[in-house]
Structure 1
Amino acid sequence: MIDQPTLHRGTGDVAGDVYLPADGGTTFWGRLPCAADAPVLTVDPGTAVTIDTISHEGILEDQGRDPRAFFTAHGVEPEQVLDDAIEIAASDHPHTMAVDGPHVVTGPIAVRGARRGDLLKITVLDTTRRVPYGVVSNRHNKGALPGEFPPDGVTFSAFCGVEEIDGTPYGTMPLVPGGEPAVAFGLDPFLGIMGVATAGDERLHSVPPGPHGGNIDISLTTVGSSMYIPVQADGALAYVGDPHFAMGDGEVALTALEASLRATVRLDVVAREDASEMFGELVTPLVETSEFLVPTGLDEDLDVAMRNCVRAAIGVLGARYGMHPQQALAYLSAATDFDISQVVDIVKGVHAKIRTADFTRLGARP
């Protein structure tokens, strides 16, 4: 593994205007914040917040709920195991493996002026690795091949190190369990969970994504991207979590390279009227990158998720460029990739990559 400083709580650089650590008072484990939850931080729109996130891998009950023991068994030095991960695992933080989700989320953060019907815009400004390692797991007969993997029903966790090759960091893993690293793949860190609180007083399970965002798991949400999420409660009550160093679209094992990040995000509010003109009526979150508009479709049935995504893409093209629905469908068929975000989170996801440059070459209305 590369030699890098371990970003324990309160150490290292803070790129944002304000810093939010991860501890027992600023995190939820396995559940998502709702409107009844008090914010742990309140900020003005436009504020950049640096947030510590904790990966669930290494702290879960089927891994011993002892991250120091789990990671040192894989050759990690004790001082490289995050203090806040140890604290969460050892705390009386309520968590039941078979009932709650696995994810630790940091928040909620209230954004002044955000109202139901607005959009919360979360722009990712920075993602810094807190540790030089992570884990990919397959468990409970879940993932893309339930009933086939894990073959013995026992959780399989593949440990991955981070190595530098010709000045570039890569994730590494062996060809066989317990072997020496033999495969090196690119890293592109992102937050699998970005969301807003749901209305009411019920804390949703952290696994299935929805109109609130949550475990949306779109690997395009890297530095420079923005996610727009329909606000459901005053203040939006934003949260982030499920940090990844890398993920292939589909996330077929159940998890990808799960590993803790220090993320800096800017929180902005888009008023309902402006949101409608920009994107139409969003039912599920939309991602924007320097290259693409990325509407999403969600459903437990992947075919329905695909249809929902196509409808969302047609709506975005109509709102943004005044494109007739039949013309929009034709364009999408000719020029837009529809990718599977993930198939492992109960509610499956599809996202469309609409290339914005296609609408500037001939002067389409922006």
Structure 2
Amino acid sequence: MQHSLALHPGQGPIRSATYLPADPSAVLWGRLPCATDSPVLTIDAGTEVTIDTISHEGVLEDQGRDPVAFFGGFGVRREDVLLDAIALAASDRPRDPTIDGPHVVTGPIHVRGAVPGDLLAITVLETLPRVPYGVVSNRHGRGALPGEYPLDAGTVSVFAAVDGEHGTLPRVLGGAHSVRFPLAPFLGIMGVAVAGGSRPHSVPPGAHGGNIDINLLTVGSTLYLPVQVAGALAYVGDPHFAQGDGEVALTAMEASLRATLRFDVLSEADALEQFGRQVGPLAETADLLIPTGLSPDLDEAVQNCVRAAIGLLQARYGMDAAHAYAYLSAATDFNISQVVDLVKGAHARIRKGDFHD
């Protein structure tokens, strides 16, 4: 067998002493964890965990549920198809494609000491591509132009190769020329379990996080999520190599990642002091505070984002609401996270450097 270019389970670099592979017993497919789910891993707050994630592209029913054959059709060698993706596709892991989502999520992870009212902080320390390729898909009834694309019947899956720190895909089917774009790997899904005994669908994001698809959540970023159940029951998935704001075709460059994350807990008192009362996901990078807004209506998603940003500026920097509103209009970009996940998302880019006295 030739040397594999893939990071199969347990092989290659594993940064953390705590490692969670994505074998079928450690993932959910199409649904997100709820309070009654049992953790697949229990850790102390502050622990770093290296987690394998599996892209749903190549394992779905409309792609044959046979990743070896699917990726082989694009010239990928069998040894470069992930063994855990093959195992998942061949498993009896429950998923009903008529009512469940497509995403594979690894977890849940119980974080000791996390209780409702706290914020769970998930910091991205490393994202390693597990394969040298990805897929961008468009399906009927989905995407920003559901009545116009795909042009023909069936699912369109565009293969994208990795070329160093860039992705490439053909400009036209069968053409010799390609388009090249930078890679910026991140996890589209990071979340906490919801209260109760019903698992949420994997597609729409919410206060629990989930499929928020914010492309700023690359290495060095932190996502804060309001804890809903004891232990938080965190999970991750929907790995991307690259995504534009909006994710208009339905998916971006979907491809499996090995991510190392640190899980911290902010007490309710500390969270209120630093961020105010947050009712949904909030992100942070070295330079930015990134409040979010979610709604099935894009206008309402932006409005919710503006409200979250005003509250954040009041709590963090002592601004009054009128001046916070004025500052946001003068100095802050509001971006569309995605428009394809049933619940649409917006996020703001507040520069922390503007508030250094």
TM-score (norm 1): 0.96
Q: Is 1:275 aligned with 2:262?
A: no
Q: Partners in 1 of 2:265 and 2:8 — Cα distance?
A: 31
Give the Å deviation of 1:6.
Answer: 1.1
Report the Cα offset of residue 35 of structure 1. 0.7
In 1, Cα distance between equivalents of 2:309 and 2:207 = 16
The residue correspondences of 1:294-313 to structure 2 (distance < 5 A) are 294-313=290-309
Q: Superposition pairs for residues 61-80 of structure 1, below 5 Å? A: 61-80=61-80
Pair 1:139 & 2:139 matched = yes
After superposition, what is the alpha-carbon deviation per residue over 1:24-54, rounded to whole angstroms, capped at 9, x for unaligned? 1100000001110010000001000000000
Aligned pair 1:192/2:204, yes or no? no
Aligned twin of 1:38: 38
C-alpha contact (below 8 Å) 2:4/2:80 kept by paired residues: no
User: In the aligned structure 2, how far is the partner of 1:288 from the partner of 1:152?
Assistant: 41
- Which residues of 2 match residues 316-335 of structure 1 at below 5 A? 316-335=312-331
Once residues 241 and 227 of structure 1 are traced to their aligned partners in structure 2, the CA distance between those partners, rounded to angstroms, is 14
Cα distance, 1:119 vs structure 2: 0.3
Q: For structure 1, which segment, 96-105 or 333-342, has the greater mean C-alpha deviation from structure 2 after superposition?
A: 96-105
AA matched with 2:148:
E
Q: 1:260 aligns with which of 253, 256, 259?
A: 256
Alpha-carbon shift at residue 178 of structure 1 (Å):
3.5
Give the direction of change, closer, same or farther, for the CA distance of 1:71–1:338 in structure 2 (3 Å limit). Answer: same
Name the CA distance, whole Å, in 2 between partners of 1:94 and 1:25: 11
Tell me the SS of whatever aligns to 2:24. coil
- Give 1:192 deviation, angstroms: 0.1
The aligned residue for residue 204 of structure 2 is: 208
Task: Supply the distance in 1 between the matched residues of 2:15 and 2:140 (Cα, whole angstroms).
Answer: 39
Corresponding residue for 1:106? 106
Moved more, 169-178 or 204-213: 169-178
Count of matched residue pairs: 355
Partner of 1:130: 130
Alignment of 1:154-233 (within 5 A): 154-164=154-164, 169-180=165-176, 182-233=178-229
Task: Tell me if structure 2 keeps the 8 A contact 1:49–1:265.
Answer: yes
Q: Distance in 1 between matches of 2:268 and 2:173?
A: 51
Distance in 2, Cα, partners of 1:331 & 1:92: 53
The answer as to 2:95 corresponding to 1:95 is yes
Structure 1 residue 315 corresponds to structure 2 residue 299: no
| In 2, Cα distance between equivalents of 1:170 and 1:317 | 36
1:243 maps to which of 239, 242, 246: 239
Distance 2:339 2:46 in 1: 34
Query: What is the Cα deviation at residue 4 of structure 1?
Result: 7.1
Task: Determine what percentage of the aligned residue pairs are the same residue.
Answer: 66
Residue of structure 2 aligned with 1:291, choices 274, 281, 287: 287
Inter-partner Cα distance in structure 2 for 1:66 and 1:156? 16
Contact 2:336 2:347 in 1 (8 A): yes
| Alignment root-mean-square deviation, CA | 1.0
Which amino acid letter does the alignment assign opposite residue 187 of structure 1? L
Contact 1:4 1:132 in 2 (8 A): no
| Distance in 2 separating the partners of 1:342 and 1:274 | 30
Instruction: Tell me by how many angstroms 1:179 deviates.
Output: 3.2
Contact kept, 8 Å, 2:192 with 2:228, in 1: the verdict is yes
Q: Please name the residue that 2:336 is paired with.
A: 340
Shift of 1:311: 0.2
The amino acid across from 2:100 in the alignment is D
Unmatched segments (≥5 aa) in structure 1: none
Matched-pair contact (CA < 8 Å) for 1:217–1:341: yes
Is the contact between residue 206 and residue 294 of structure 2 (CA under 8 Å) also seen in structure 1? yes
Cα deviation 1:290-327 (Å, max 9, x = unaligned): 11000000000000000000000000000000100000
Q: Is the Cα contact below 8 Å between 1:4 and 1:131 reproduced in 2?
A: no
The answer for unaligned runs of 5 or more in structure 2 is none
Please give the per-residue CA displacement for 1:56-94, whole angstroms capped at 9, x wherever unaligned: 000000000000000011010110000000010111111
CA distance in 2, matches of 1:94, 1:254: 24
CA distance in 2 between partners of 1:89 and 1:279 (Å): 42
- Using the alignment, how far apart are the partners of 1:4 and 1:183 within structure 2? 26
Q: Residue 27 of structure 1 aligns to which amino acid in structure 2?
A: V
Distance of 2:228 and 2:324 partners within structure 1: 29
- The 8 Å contact of residues 172 and 181 in structure 1, kept in 2 or not, is answered as no
| Structure 2 CA distance for aligned equivalents of residues 264 and 191 of structure 1 | 11
Change (3 A) 1:85 1:180: farther
- Distance in 2, Cα, partners of 1:181 & 1:112: 52
Q: Deviations over 1:4-35 (max 9, x none)?
A: 73100011111123000001110000000111
Tell me how far apart the structure 1 counterparts of residues 176 and 26 of structure 2 sit (CA, whole Å).
38
